[in-house]
Chains A and B, each alone.
Chain A
Amino acid sequence: MVNVEEIRDFAAGLLERGEVKSVLGFRHGSASAFAEPCTLTEADDAASLVWDPTCLNNLALYLVKDRKQQAASKTPDTRPVGIVAKGCDSRAVGVLLQENYFKREDVVVIGISCEGTGVVDPKKLSNKLKGRTASRVTFDGADGISVSVYGDETETVIPAREVLADRCLECRAAAPALNNVVFGDSVEARDYNEPFHAAKEAENVSEDERWATWEHHFDRCLRCFACRAVCPMCYCPECVVDSTTFVVTLGTSAKEKANRIRWCERSANTSESAVYHLTRAIHLAGRCIDCGECERVCPVNIPLRLLNTKLEKEAFEMFEYQAGHDIEQASLLSSFRDEDPNSFIR
């Protein structure tokens, strides 16, 4: 079992010795039974750190945010940042390193093994509770997630595999390979589901049915852009679906601004939302590490992870490529091998 005290001590030590400017971690939230992200800057604050299956967020997003703040600052604080990272989160850090977004020495990865369990999927929980709110979610250490429902004093134990996130059921590496330290045992995955299980299931239906399903989902999209905003790989200063030019300098002419092509209109309708989601999926091919954040944050529960794992599966099956697994490896889209399929490359 992960001993949260050890994580707190380690984080406090880093801050005390001034080895990092901050530590990204999880604390109890005021808003729900799920943990929320926190940024610690004082060793004393480390006592607020928590670790349990409600620590859903991929905090690598905040490494990107820090980098952007540094770029915008006249007096940037370039000291390293500590980050609490699950296996999947550490691979996000890995991709950012592969893409030279920052350097290895800029980040101290406080790895935590999910020990073959993983995190709870709030959507699955909501489905179990028919929309009611969980007021407490705990893991019994074996195979059950205990849930108390708000407004109802009873506690129910739900089999873990029924409420764990799909990515956790399919996890191939629960312990962070990229780390400065790892807490928790490197337990074998529990074999809940084989890798890419959900994507394979989705492929098993006819093309017409698949299109009908996605049309239904794209129709429901609110275009709140939470999926893009939460993704650590969506770090572009301006996005192809934005209607304005964000990178405006003194040298940007009026013509350039006026002539910006709107590839995607703001209207939340099937065609525009399809363009948005498919563009995002393609831009994440070979980069997505399956942290499932896009799907988690979606307020209307569009199963976005399926789009990304489908492409992750393609990358794996065609090029034996797994994003973020090896930071020395060139990224998928910037490299080729002689044995790659298709002949155009030769």
Chain B
Amino acid sequence: MEKILSQEKLREWVDTLDDCEVHAPAFADSVWNYARIEAGADIDLSHTNTIGSIKTFVFPQREVFFRFEKKDGVPLLTSTLPDPIPTVVFGVRPCDGRGMPRNDTVFNKEFEDPYYWARRDKLTLIGLACNQPHSPNCFCQSVGGSPHSEEGLDILMTDLGDRFHVKGITAKGVEIMERGRDAFDAVSDSDQADAGKIHETSRSYPQRPLGDLDAIPEALRENFDSPLWADMAQHCIGCGICTFLCPTCHCFDINDEVTSPTSGEGERVRTWDNCQFPDFTMHTSGHNPRGDLGSRLRQRVNHKFLYFVENHNTQQCTGCGRCITECPVGIDIVAVLERVSQ
């Protein structure tokens, strides 16, 4: 389904989703991030990309697995499986959209994660094509994506200046469009042509190149013991920025958080974890197989461009460029791959 939506009618459409939780990018605290919006009037799609990725909607930083307590000496577990109301996210950039099927694979392939899927099944992603790259660190095309990729999205919107071209991709997306049917106009040939032209132009901007994607896994295998890693991680501070902001990083830790030691009350909680932290791979013996920052940088890069390719036949990176832009010391995954591939 393809429709045209005027800038003014966008709000009208958003207002038809009043039984859903609607999130859209908002510029607050000097940064774009997703925020819940209460009415169509609050929507602003002039964003670059959000600092946090959409993974938060399906893989929140803190997920309670269950509550526990001791009643009459007997341990009692209470389910905390989430049952969210339908959630619609506007303004998803295509790189983030492409991250979602990769996360789906991780949380489905060997084990269907009920917490992830309880949220995922209720989530509708409305993408917004990038008419031009937002940052010199964008490289979606270098990892097989595109600024108007539909992968992972339920709807793709394209900004045609005074109006949006809106394309329903999945049944879920079409249903959300149907609800706002009065807001939409039919799409004309010239609208189609305009959208096509914008898409074409958006692909023509230079992006950071990765060379031959298929050659990268072998280069990484060959360089497993290379001294390059220590050199490239020389200034790494070992923080969690690159992975926490990444749309596809999904590693987690599970802890019991006891709130009342006397009654043994508490929660089992899943929280984001990060391969750059020293305790990520630490053994109880004190031995740490990824004991230095070089091997941890290698772990991050290999996971995305080698192990994930071996296991799932695609890169676990969609070229959003957050890990590059936000790194406090300039560690640059594109430059890293370039050096390793040389």
Contact check, B279 vs A243: say whether CB atoms are below 8 A apart: yes
CB distance from A61 to the nearest CB of B (A): 7
Contacts of B325 in A (CB 8 A): 31-32, 133
The answer to whether A206 has its CB under 8 Å from any CB of chain B is no
Q: A257-B284, A268-B271, A299-B51 are in contact. Are A223 and B329 (CB under 8 A)?
A: no
Q: Mark A240-272, 1 if CB is under 8 A from B, else 0.
A: 001110101100101001000000011111000
Contact check, B30 vs A31: say whether CB atoms are below 8 A apart: no
Q: List 30 A-B contacts (CB under 8 A).
A: A29-B330, A30-B332, A31-B330, A32-B137, A36-B330, A37-B235, A123-B30, A126-B31, A127-B30, A131-B31, A131-B32, A133-B134, A133-B325, A150-B133, A151-B132, A220-B29, A222-B52, A222-B272, A224-B244, A225-B239, A229-B239, A243-B279, A244-B279, A248-B285, A257-B284, A265-B255, A266-B255, A268-B272, A299-B241, A300-B52
A86 to B132, CA, bound (A): 38
Q: Tally A residues with Cβ within 8 Å of B.
A: 53
Contacts of A229 in B (CB 8 A): 237-239
A150 to B33, CA, bound (A): 20
Q: A126-B30, A243-B255, A301-B30 are in contact. Are A248 and B286 (CB under 8 A)?
A: yes
Contact check, A297 vs B328: say whether CB atoms are below 8 A apart: yes
Contacts of A223 in B (CB 8 A): 61, 240
Contact check, A300 vs B329: say whether CB atoms are below 8 A apart: no
- Interface positions, chain B 1-53, Cβ under 8 Å from A, are 27, 29-33, 46-48, 51-52
Contact check, A31 vs B324: say whether CB atoms are below 8 A apart: yes
Contacts of B324 in A (CB 8 A): 31
Give B contacts to A, CB under 8 Å.
27, 29-33, 46-48, 51-52, 61-62, 132-137, 234-235, 237-241, 244-245, 253, 255, 257, 269, 271-272, 274, 277-279, 282, 284-286, 324-332, 334-335
The answer to whether A138 has its CB under 8 Å from any CB of chain B is no
Known: A31-B330, A222-B244, A230-B239. 12 other contacts (CB 8 A): A37-B329, A39-B234, A39-B235, A61-B237, A130-B27, A130-B46, A132-B48, A223-B240, A226-B237, A226-B239, A230-B328, A293-B328
A61 to B27, CA, bound (A): 32
CB distance from A38 to the nearest CB of B (A): 8
Contact check, B134 vs A301: say whether CB atoms are below 8 A apart: no
Contact check, A246 vs B329: say whether CB atoms are below 8 A apart: no
CB distance from A49 to the nearest CB of B (A): 15
Contact check, A131 vs B48: say whether CB atoms are below 8 A apart: yes
Give A contacts to B, CB under 8 Å.
29-32, 34, 36-39, 57, 61-62, 123-124, 126-127, 130-133, 135, 150-151, 220, 222-226, 228-230, 242-244, 246, 248-249, 252, 254, 257, 265-269, 293, 296-297, 299-302
Contact check, B30 vs A57: say whether CB atoms are below 8 A apart: no
Contacts of B335 in A (CB 8 A): 30-31
Contact check, A151 vs B133: say whether CB atoms are below 8 A apart: yes
Nearest to A121 among chain B residues (CB) is B30
A196 to B234, CA, bound (A): 34
Contacts of A31 in B (CB 8 A): 137, 324-325, 327, 330-332, 335
A36 to B330, CA, bound (A): 6
A280 to B269, CA, bound (A): 24
Contacts of B245 in A (CB 8 A): 299
A133 to B331, CA, bound (A): 17
A132 to B47, CA, bound (A): 9
Cβ 8 A contact of A225, one of B48, B51, B137, B277: B277
Contacts of A252 in B (CB 8 A): 286
Contact check, A242 vs B279: say whether CB atoms are below 8 A apart: yes
Contacts of B326 in A (CB 8 A): 299
A300 to B27, CA, bound (A): 11
Contact check, B257 vs A267: say whether CB atoms are below 8 A apart: yes
Cβ 8 A contact of A246, one of B51, B240, B255, B279: B279
